[in-house]
Amino acid sequence: MGIIQTIEKQKRNFQQKLINKALRDAQHIARILVKQFGAKEIILYGSLAKAKYFDTFSDIDLVAKGLGANYLKAYGYCLQLTKFNLDLKAYEDIPLTFRKKIANKGIVINATR
């Protein structure tokens, strides 16, 4: 294997580890949002939902349904749970066009039953 192939393989391995860590963090945050802050559903969207586009400059994009008055407290708490930048949006506060986009391209990662 040549030097270029070795570097490309190392880059792919690094990216996959980064994606796996971000997904674990997103799932952990989703569990916290549901269990501690009363969220009804957590949706992952953005570059992490399309994992091949996720890199060291990416953030974790989540939408939470049902946080209500707990939104700011939950957001502040969850910022401490990951080394990645976190973009947490309250579903009820986002425009209808964005809701439709999330419904089509987002991934539900945690929901109450």
Please provide the DSSP assignment of the chain as one string: --HHHHHHHHHHHHHHHHHHHHHHHHHHHHHHHHHHH--SEEEEESTTTTGGG--TT-EEEEEEES-GGGHHHHHHHHHTT-SSEEEEEEGGGS-HHHHHHHHHH-EEEEE--
pLDDT digits (tens, 9 = 90+) for 22-60: 999 999 999 999 999 999 999 999 999 988 789 889 999
Q: Which domain holds residue 20?
A: 3-111
pTM assigned to the model: 0.90
Which CATH number characterizes residue 74's domain?
A: 3.30.460.10
Instruction: Give the count of domains, the chain.
Output: 1
pLDDT digits (tens, 9 = 90+) for 6-26: 888 998 889 899 999 999 999
